[in-house]
């Protein structure tokens, strides 16, 4: 199985120290986290981690189970890029005089859908949102014109097939695992859903 980019989406309680607990699951196996974002989720009080790594599916599946095992983690999903809509945000600081003088730069920014966030006499800050490759191409394009500062955010991603976490959460609110044996909805859905 070859390595590819996977995005892991983790729904959690909001708890100090949980970031570390999740991060060490990767560092323990010497896996580099390409990008990590924490944010609120569609459900109030539930947090959402978005983690991007480059690994084989086998390893990613095991990682997700280890993550889900943590007491404060509700659920961990993993997806390939095809299964996601995602964006990263980037900020570029460039000298204002260059932009003012060089028509090419203006065209470039327009082409990439960059917006000016701040315009000052000495510098201008542009932002773009998009996939990493798009952002990276713009850096390359801007470099010859004196890119002063650059920063890119972690990936945020929406799972195309997800129906949101509201319904899922109800399962966790049940008092205890059912005493009686029930037919399990997760059967044969291993690749999509993990459960504890």
Partner 1 sequence: MSNSTILDAAETKKQVAEAPKTISGSQAVLEAFLAEGVDTIFGYPGGAIMPIYDALYDYTDRLEHILVRHEQGGIHAGQGYARASGRVGVVFATSGPGATNLVTGLADAMIDSTPLVCVTGQVFAHLLGTDAFQETDVINITTPVTKWNYQVTDATEIPSVLAKAFYIAKTGRPGPVLIDITKNAQLQMFEYSGYTPCNHIRSYKPKPTVRKEYIVEAAKLINEAKKPFVIFGQGVILGRAEKEFKAFIEKTGLPAAWTIMGMSAIPTDHPLGVGMLGMHGNYAPNVLTNECDVLIAVGMRFDDRVTGRLDKYAKQAQVIHFDIDPAEIDKNVKSAVPVWGDCKETLPLLTDLLEKRDHSEWLAKFRELEKKEVEEVINEELNPSTEILTMGEVLKVLNELTDGNAIIATDVGQHQMVACRYAKYNNTMSNVTSGGLGTMGFGLPAAIGAKYGAPDKTVVAIIGDGGFQMTIQELGTIMQFGAAVKILILNNQFLGMVRQWQQLFHDKRYSFVNITSPDYVQVAKGYGIEGKKIDQRADLKNAVKTMLDHDGAYLLEVMVGKENNVFPMVPQGCGVSEIRLK
Binding site for partner 1 (CB under 8 A): 12-13, 16-17, 20-21, 24, 28, 61-62, 65-66, 68-69, 71-74, 172-173, 175-178, 181-184, 186-187, 194-196
Cβ–Cβ < 8 Å for 19, 39: no
CB of 73 to partner 1, least distance (A): 6
Q: Judged by CB, which is closer to partner 1: 65, or 132?
A: 65
CB of 162 to partner 1, least distance (A): 18
Q: Judged by CB, which is closer to partner 1: 44, or 176?
A: 176
Q: Judged by CB, which is closer to partner 1: 24, or 119?
A: 24
Q: Judged by CB, which is closer to partner 1: 67, or 138?
A: 67
Q: Judged by CB, which is closer to partner 1: 73, or 135?
A: 73
Cβ neighbourhood burial of 169 (10 Å; 0-12, 13-18, 19+) = middle
Quickly count helices (H) and strands (E) in the chain. 6, 9
Cβ–Cβ < 8 Å for 39, 50: yes
- What's the CA gap between 110 and 107, in Å, rounded? 5
Q: Judged by CB, which is closer to partner 1: 73, or 90?
A: 73
CB of 26 to partner 1, least distance (A): 12
CB of 114 to partner 1, least distance (A): 40
- What's the CA gap between 147 and 98, in Å, rounded? 10
CB of 43 to partner 1, least distance (A): 11
Cβ–Cβ < 8 Å for 191, 79: no
Cα distance between the two ends of the chain: 26
CB of 22 to partner 1, least distance (A): 10
């Amino acid at each position: 199985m070859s390595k590819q980019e996977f995005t892991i989406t983790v729904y959690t309680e909001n708890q100090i120290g949980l970031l570390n607990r999740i991060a060490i699951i990767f560092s323990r196996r010497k896996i580099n986290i390409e990008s990590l974002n924490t944010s609120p989720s569609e459900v109030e009080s539930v947090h959402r981690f978005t983690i991007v790594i480059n690994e084989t599916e086998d390893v990613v599946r095991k990682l997700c189970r280890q993550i889900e095992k943590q007491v404060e983690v509700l659920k961990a999903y993993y997806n390939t890029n095809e299964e996601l809509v995602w964006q990263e945000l980037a900020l570029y600081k460039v000298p204002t005089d260059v932009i003012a003088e060089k028509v090419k730069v203006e065209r470039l920014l327009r082409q990439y859908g960059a917006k000016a966030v701040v315009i000052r006499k000495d510098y201008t800050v542009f932002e773009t949102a998009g996939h990493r490759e798009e952002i990276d191409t713009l850096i390359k394009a801007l470099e010859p014109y004196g890119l002063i500062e650059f920063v890119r955010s972690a990936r945020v991603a929406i799972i195309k097939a997800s129906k949101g976490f509201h319904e899922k959460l109800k399962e966790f609110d049940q008092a205890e695992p059912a005493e009686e044996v029930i037919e399990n909805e997760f059967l044969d859905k291993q690749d999509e859903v993990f459960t504890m």
